[in-house]
């Protein structure tokens, strides 16, 4: 089976449904229901990847992507469901002794689920750059696209321990903003809607880049899907205006 046939086949691999090549670019987040993270019963679930596990090579290798999507992201989804159950149990039994523990855990695991779900859609296998409203706002709020890239990259590279560099839209000020998130949930601003997230946990890069987080972040800028970030801005403006 050659690469083209492989993409067309819709195989199931590593728990991820393989959709046709470029489907990530031809259908919107809304049409794909890409950001729907709970099922009809209110349980968290993981959306399938919109591409094969080798789609981002050589910039992100298939093994890293497989482990990251299946075990790290997948593990957070399972844990978030458990956290929610334990909170419900506490309430059902009128015993709030450990509810603060599960509430903190839910914040951590659900934030991981949300950021990872966005992260997969923020990546593609070709270079792109921001256009339209996103570009105008980048120029207004950061000076230029180059300055934004420099700022976001530096912020991501310098996270203390594990975390994320995030470009988000802050509806309270109608501005783009950069966050340096520790773990999955710390150092946020209330209200910020993430548009572009850069995972700098070691699991995101260690197999290929070893301890060179800086190289991983620089490399990642070659496969950012700026169309996806634009669409996220458009959606954020719609729901907050």
Q: Rounded to whole angstroms, how far apart are CA atoms 201 and 183?
A: 8
Minimum Å gap between C-beta 118 and Fe ion is: 11
Minimum Å gap between C-beta 162 and Fe ion is: 8
Minimum Å gap between C-beta 97 and Fe ion is: 32
Residue 62 contacts residue 31 (beta carbons within 8 Å): no
Contacts with Fe ion in 62-81 (CB under 5 A)? 72
Q: Rounded to whole angstroms, how far apart are CA atoms 47 and 34?
A: 7
Measured in degrees and rounded to the nearest 5, phi and psi for residue 239 equal -85, -10
Burial of 136 (0-12, 13-18, 19+ CB in 10 A): exposed
Minimum Å gap between C-beta 205 and Fe ion is: 10
Of 90 and 111, which CB lies nearer to Fe ion in the complex structure? 111
Of 72 and 105, which CB lies nearer to Fe ion in the complex structure? 72
Site size for Fe ion (CB under 5 A): 3
For residues 184 to 223, the per-residue mask of contacts with Fe ion, x marking binding by CB under 5 A and - elsewhere, is: ---------------x-x----------------------
Residues that bind Fe ion (CB under 5 A): 72, 199, 201
């Amino acid at each position: 089976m050659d690469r083209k046939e492989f993409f067309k086949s819709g195989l199931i691999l590593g728990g991820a449904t393989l959709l046709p090549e470029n489907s990530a670019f031809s259908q919107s987040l809304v049409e794909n229901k890409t950001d729907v993270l709970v099922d009809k019963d209110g349980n968290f679930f993981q959306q399938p990847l919109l591409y094969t596990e080798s789609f981002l090579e050589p910039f992100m290798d298939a093994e890293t992507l497989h482990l990251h999507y299946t075990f790290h992201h997948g593990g957070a989804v399972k844990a978030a469901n458990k956290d929610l159950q334990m909170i419900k149990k506490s309430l059902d039994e009128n015993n709030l002794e450990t509810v603060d523990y599960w509430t903190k855990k839910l914040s951590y695991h659900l934030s991981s689920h949300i950021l990872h779900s966005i992260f997969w859609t923020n990546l593609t296998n070709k270079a792109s750059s921001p256009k339209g409203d996103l570009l105008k706002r980048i120029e207004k709020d950061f000076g230029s696209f180059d300055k934004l890239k420099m700022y976001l990259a530096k912020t991501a590279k310098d996270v203390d321990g594990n975390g994320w560099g995030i470009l988000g839209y802050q509806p309270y000020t109608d501005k783009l903003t950069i966050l340096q998130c520790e773990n999955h949930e710390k150092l946020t601003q209330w209200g910020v809607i993430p548009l572009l997230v850069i995972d700098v946990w070691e699991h995101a890069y260690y197999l290929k880049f070893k301890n060179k987080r800086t190289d991983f972040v620089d490399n990642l800028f070659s496969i950012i899907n700026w169309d996806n970030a634009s669409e996220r801005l458009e959606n954020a403006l719609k729901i907050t205006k």
